[in-house]
Structure 1
Amino acid sequence: MYHAVVRAKVRKLWTRVAAGDYRAAVAMAAPTLRFRFVGEAPPAATLTGPVEFERWFADLFVLFPGIRVSLADVVVRGWPWRTTVIVRLSIEATLADGTPYRNEGIQWVTLRWGRMVEDYVLEDTARLYAAVRLQQGCGIGQRP
């Protein structure tokens, strides 16, 4: 029963994030959250805490305006004191030149008593890098 409840909450959370409400994910972050988005180019990051996590999301939505992330599958294991959640994601956006961006990713999350303490994300970095270069070449997503 616990796993079904967690799966439902994760699906609801990703529905909110897909609608642009990334603060719903930030609200789940423990003060000691360790987040890693694998890669060399933005949005690659290794950071700690909800403040940096929120900044990462804000930057992502600037880099890819209108990004759509949808949950394809969820696997839940463990118990409230150490729950592992694995999510398969589909990512879509329209790039600055009008071409579609499509990618897929895996998220591995550790929850402790409902709070996210670790979040590790893998996305196809070759596709992502090409899209980021195009966006930055059009002046999108670059910090002043």
Structure 2
Amino acid sequence: MYHAIVRARVRSLWRRVGSGDYAAAVRLAAPDVRFRFVGEPPLGAELRGREAFARWFEETGARLPGLRMRLTDVVVKGWPWDTTVVARLAITATPAHDPHYTNEAIQWIRLRWGRMVSDEVMEDTQRLARAIRAAGPA
């Protein structure tokens, strides 16, 4: 039952985040959340804290206009004090140079008592790097 509740909450959260409400993810984060976006800069990051997490979303949105992320699958395991959530995401954006940008990612999240304490995202970084290079400086 607990896993079904978490899956439903994750789906609800991703509907909000996917429509551009990135603040919903930031509100779920613990004050000292650890966020890691695997890859090279400019989007590759290893950050700590809600404020840094929020800034990453702002900077990413500026580099990839129209950024939308859609949850396609979710797996939950563990207990309320140590829950693992694995999400599969479909990503789109509409930068001027490529109005059909698509990508995919896997997200590995750790929750403690309903708060996100770590979030690691693995995306096709080659495709992302090509899109950022084509878009030019942010």
TM-score (norm 2): 0.96
The 8 Å contact of residues 66 and 95 in structure 2, kept in 1 or not, is answered as no
Match of 2:3 in 1: 3
DSSP-derived class of the 2:58 partner: helix
Deviation at 1:95, TM superposition (A): 2.3
Match of 2:51 in 1: 51
Match of 2:121 in 1: 121
Equivalent runs, 1:100-119 vs 2, <5 Å? 100-119=100-119
The 8 Å contact of residues 73 and 87 in structure 2, kept in 1 or not, is answered as yes
Counterparts of 2:94 and 2:65, CA distance in 1: 8
Deviation at 1:93, TM superposition (A): 1.1
Structure 2 residues without counterparts, runs of 5 or longer: none
Q: Give, as a single letter, the amino acid of the residue that structure 1 aligns with 2:28.
A: M
DSSP-derived class of the 2:13 partner: helix
DSSP-derived class of the 2:135 partner: helix
Q: Give, as a single letter, the amino acid of the residue that structure 2 aligns with 1:106.
A: I
Match of 2:32 in 1: 32
Structure 1 residues without counterparts, runs of 5 or longer: none
Counterparts of 1:31 and 1:44, CA distance in 2: 21
Q: After TM superposition, what 4+ stretches of structure 1 lie above 6 angstroms from structure 2?
A: none
Deviations 1:104-143 (A, max 9, x none): 000000000000001000000110000010112xx4x2xx
Deviation at 1:100, TM superposition (A): 1.4
Deviation at 1:82, TM superposition (A): 0.2
Counterparts of 1:81 and 1:65, CA distance in 2: 37
* Percent of aligned pairs sharing the same letter: 58
TM-score (norm 1): 0.92
Equivalent runs, 1:38-117 vs 2, <5 Å? 38-117=38-117
Counterparts of 2:99 and 2:20, CA distance in 1: 21
Aligned residue-pair number: 138
Counterparts of 1:98 and 1:128, CA distance in 2: 12
